[in-house]
A = this chain, B = another copy of it.
C-alpha cells in the first residue's frame, strides 16, 4: 500500500499560511509588549496567573507542567527564577514527600496585578479589538475544535479557558456588576 499525499488546495494553503504567520507574529508581539511593560516573559506571566487562580494560590509543580504543556525541567527552571524574584516560594507536599508545591507570594500577586493591565491592553490592541463579535465567536469555536482534538474531549482544562469568578482580578470589573 502506498502513502498518497493529499496536498493542500489553494484555499487550504492560503488559510494555513495566513494563520501560521499571523499567530507567530502575534505571539512575538505580545511577548515583546509584556517584556517591555513588565520585564516578564509570557511563561512567567502564565505561571503567575495559574497560581493566582488556584486554591490557596498553590499548585503542584507537576500540575503546572501539565497545564502549560511544558516539560517538568522547564517548569523547575522557571519556578527557580520566580523564587529568586520573591514571587513564588516552594514547599514540600504534605501528602507526598517527593512532590513539590509552588505557592504565589504577596509580592508575586502584586507583580501580576501590575503587569495585567498592560498585558490586557496589548491583547486587546493586537487581537480582541480587531475582530467583530461574530469573528470572536468563530475564533473561539475553531480554537475549541483544535483543543478538543489536541487534548481529548473537554475535561480538566476547561477551567483554563473559561471565565471564572475567582479570576476577577484579571477578568476585571465589568459594566454589569
Contacts and interface: CB of A to CB of B under 8 A. Distances in A.
Tell me the interface secondary structure of chain A in the complex.
helix
Q: Classify chain A: how many residues form its interface, as a range.
A: 35 or more
A135 B127 contact: no
B120 A21 contact: no
Interface in A107-153: 116-117, 120-121, 123-124, 126-128, 130-131, 133, 135-147, 149-151
Interface stretch (A54-62, A77-85, A86-94, A169-177): A169-177
A3 B124 CA distance: 14
A127 B146 contact: yes
A121 to B, nearest CB: 7
A96 interface: no
A146 B173 CA distance: 27
A146 B9 CA distance: 23
A25 B131 contact: no
28 contacts: A7-B120, A7-B173, A8-B120, A8-B123, A8-B128, A11-B133, A11-B140, A12-B136, A14-B161, A14-B163, A15-B137, A15-B143, A16-B128, A18-B140, A19-B127, A21-B147, A21-B157, A21-B161, A24-B69, A25-B150, A26-B150, A28-B69, A126-B150, A130-B146, A130-B149, A131-B145, A135-B142, A135-B145
